[in-house]
Amino acid sequence: MRIVLLGPPGSGKGTQAQKLGRNLGLPHVGMGDMLREALKNRTSLGERAKEFMDSGKLVPDSIILELLGERLEGTKEGFILDGFPRTLEQAKRLGALLEKERENLDAVINLKVREETILRRLPGRLVCSECGKVYQRANLSSSTQRCPSCGAPLLSRTDDVSDTLKKRIEIYLEHTHPLIDYYKKKGILQDVSGEGNPQEVFDRIVKILN
Ligand code: AMP
């Protein structure tokens, strides 16, 4: 199965993609995660991506496509893609890549959330520095600074601060939102409410995929 998760920052794409990947036994390909990993490992791609990520802008396609190409090579059985595509150009690139393999996307899940939900979720987001699991500060006991799953330190994302956040939402509306119509016209878009807790959202997605 080849699934794309679409949605604004804070809609829960990463959380749901991780859960779906585990549940369906498919690799989770998270573009933002791959970029943060490249940055952490100080690779040249990571260094080149840094200034764009820090300011909430889109990283140039030359970097994105190099990372994606390498990662998709080992995913013959399918994937759960989150954070890519983010522009019409990227969507067309993905279509061309799959066509070469005589494959298609099976579903594009569009996570819909209210702006007030985004603005509440993102400043409270904590990410595990090791396993990448995402938590809400309000859902953890106040003394917890470590990942309940693997015990590594939890960190805030440097791009979850207000100015960068505003820029990321603007970029979503200008460049990524048009993908909803693009995939709707292809007949593979499924709208899912991203409101509520992660398990509730996950159950909605599974119901639709079934
Ligand atoms: P995310 O973790 O999906 O919120 O992505 C974090 C940041 O990585 C974004 O704000 C962009 O700077 C960069 N990024 C992630 N995916 C892409 C993409 N498909 N194209 C360009 N930049 C991206």
Mind listing the pLDDT tens digit for each residue in 70-128? Answer: 898 878 889 999 999 999 999 999 999 999 888 899 999 999 999 999 999 999 999 99
Q: Are 5 and 13 in contact, with CB atoms under 8 Å apart?
A: yes
Task: Report which secondary-structure segment, H or E, holds 192.
Answer: strand 189-193
148 or 76, higher pLDDT: 148
In the beta sheet, which residues pair with residue 91?
A: none
> Which residue from 51, 59, 174 has its CB within 8 A of the most atoms of ligand 1, so it is best to mutate?
59
Query: Measuring CA to CA, how many Å separate 64 from each of 31, 144, 176?
Result: 8, 34, 15
Residues marked as catalytic: 13, 86, 125, 157, 168
pLDDT at 89: 98
CA-CA-CA-CA torsion sign (166, 167, 173, 177)? negative
pLDDT at 143 over 80: no
59 DSSP 8-state letter: P
Q: How many residues does the chain have?
A: 210
Neighbours of 138 (CB within 10 A): 9
Three-state DSSP state, 30? strand
Q: Which atom of ligand 1 is closest in space to residue 57's alpha carbon?
A: 12
The per-residue pLDDT for range 151-202, each reduced to its tens digit, is 999 999 989 888 898 999 999 999 999 999 999 999 999 999 999 999 999 9
Question: CA-CA distance, 4 to 156, in Å (whole number)?
Answer: 25
8 A C-beta contact, residue 98 and residue 1: no
Euclidean distance between CA atoms 47 and 38, whole angstroms: 8
